[in-house]
């Protein structure tokens, strides 16, 4: 079983704070790294799919970077809002796996007003 | 928009029962997946399917089976439910390929086995 680790496990920040979390994954046989946001009582929603070393993706105030050589990705949220409160999941896939993902355990973000 | 629909949001069953969880997607996706989510463990893959009648074991297939008779429908079966199968179950689908397409998830079924 592949090892995908996320840190921290949980994070409490104040509204307006910027924050970041880490996903580490196997650096060999890399194909893609996914980020999802999972809000309470909703379904997980895809944020980014990243495939190239050095890739940077941005969606509103959320951005992500990818380092495939050392096996990590960072997710940044600039100026957190209470509606950013969610569990953020990363998932790794190697090649020839029919889209099968291995997920990290998630980072639970709580943004206090 | 892709729609992935799971048949029940909440389900309560008894130990030893055979339990069926149904999932339907409306975007003609080749790949479909079943996960369970437990506190502190993230999403763990139970089974997946990359085509009709094709299935592959995920990381935790014991005690489960699946069926994919039609492209849009992927069923998870608990052959003889046990209390350690109490969990949140999520279905997902994606375009065929090797993983550079996002997965689209249903709302989940919270299953309690008494």
Residue B17 has pLDDT above 70, yes or no: yes
Contact A100 B33 (CB under 8 A): yes
Q: Which residue has the higher pLDDT, A53 or B99?
A: A53
C-alpha–C-alpha distance, residues B86 and B15, integer Å: 10
Q: How many CB atoms lie within 10 A of CB B80?
A: 11
CA dihedral B73, B40, A70, A91 (to 10 degrees): 10
Q: Which of residues 19-38 of B touch A (CB under 8 A)?
A: 31, 33, 35
Residue A98 has pLDDT above 80, yes or no: no
Contact B99 A102 (CB under 8 A): no
Q: Which of residues 59-98 of B touch A (CB under 8 A)?
A: 59, 90, 92, 94-98
Q: How far is A79 from chain B (nearest CA, A)?
A: 26
For residue A44, give the nearest of B56, B97, B105 by CB distance.
B105
Query: Which pLDDT score, from 0 to 100, does residue B2 have?
Result: 67
Residue B98 has pLDDT above 90, yes or no: no
Q: How far is A12 from chain B (nearest CA, A)?
A: 17
Task: Look at residue B87 and give its three-state secondary structure.
Answer: strand
Residue in chain B lying closest to A10 (CA)? B40
C-alpha–C-alpha distance, residues A56 and B48, integer Å: 30
Residue in chain B lying closest to A97 (CA)? B98
- Residues in chain A with CB shorter than 8 Å from the CB of B103 are 34, 36, 44, 46, 99, 101
Q: How far is A106 from chain B (nearest CA, A)?
A: 6
Average pLDDT, chain A: 93
The strands making up B4-6's β-sheet, listed across from edge to edge, are B4-6, B19-25, B73-78, B64-70
Do residues A11 and A5 make contact, with C-beta atoms less than 8 angstroms apart? no
What is the number of helices (H) and of strands (E) in chain A? 0, 11
- pLDDT tens-place string over residues A44-93: 999 999 999 999 999 999 999 999 999 999 999 999 999 999 999 999 99
- Residues in chain A with CB shorter than 8 Å from the CB of B107 are 42-43
Residue A100 has pLDDT above 90, yes or no: no
Average pLDDT, chain B: 94
Split at pLDDT 50, 70, 90, the class of B39 is confident
- Residues in chain A with CB shorter than 8 Å from the CB of B59 are 1, 102
C-alpha–C-alpha distance, residues B65 and B79, integer Å: 7
Do residues B105 and B45 make contact, with C-beta atoms less than 8 angstroms apart? no
Q: How far is A71 from chain B (nearest CA, A)?
A: 17
Q: What percent of chain A has pLDDT over 70?
A: 96
C-alpha–C-alpha distance, residues B80 and A63, integer Å: 44
């Amino acid at each position: 079983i592949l090892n995908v680790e996320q840190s921290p496990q949980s994070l409490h920040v104040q509204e307006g704070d910027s924050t970041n979390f880490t996903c580490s994954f196997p650096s060999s046989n890399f194909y893609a790294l996914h980020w999802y946001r999972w809000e309470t009582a909703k379904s997980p929603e895809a944020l980014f799919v990243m495939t190239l070393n050095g890739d940077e993706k941005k969606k509103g105030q959320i951005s992500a970077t990818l380092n495939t050589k050392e096996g990590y990705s960072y997710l940044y949220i600039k100026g957190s809002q209470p509606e950013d409160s969610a569990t953020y999941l990363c998932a790794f896939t190697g090649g020839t796996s029919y889209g099968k993902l291995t997920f990290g355990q998630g980072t639970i973000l709580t943004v206090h007003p | 928009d892709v729609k992935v629909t799971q048949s029940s949001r909440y389900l309560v069953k008894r130990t030893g029962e055979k339990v069926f969880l149904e999932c339907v997607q409306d975007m003609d996706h080749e790949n479909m997946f079943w996960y369970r989510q437990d506190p502190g463990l993230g999403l763990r893959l139970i089974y997946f399917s990359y085509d009709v009648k094709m299935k592959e074991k995920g990381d935790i297939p014991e005690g489960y089976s699946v069926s994919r008779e039609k492209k849009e429908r992927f069923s998870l079966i608990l052959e003889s439910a046990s209390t350690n199968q109490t969990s949140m179950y999520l279905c997902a689908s994606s375009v065929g390929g090797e993983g550079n397409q996002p997965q689209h998830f249903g709302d989940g079924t919270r299953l309690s086995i008494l």
